[in-house]
Amino acid sequence: MGEDMTEKALIERDSKRDLGAELLESIRQMKAGQKGAVHQVAVSEVVEERQKAGSSQRQ
C-alpha cells in the first residue's frame, strides 16, 4: 500500500478483486468486534463550538 501505481496498474489490480467477498468479510469482522485501522481527525476549537451550538459555517 502507499505505492504510486499507474492508472493501468490500478485497473488491472481492481479487475481481479471480489468486492462482494471483501465487503462480506468486513461485515463479519465488525460483527465479531474486530477493528481495522482507527483514525482520529483533529477538530479546531471553532468547529467544535459550531457543532455544540448545532450550527453550520454558513449560518
Digit-coded pLDDT (tens) for 6-55: 999 999 999 999 999 999 998 999 899 887 778 898 999 998 898 899 88
Q: Could you please report the per-residue DSSP string of 1-59?
A: ------HHHHHHHHHT--HHHHHHHHHHHHHTT-----------HHHHHHHHHT--TT-
The answer to whether 50 and 57 are in contact (CB under 8 A) is yes
Q: What is the pTM of this model?
A: 0.46
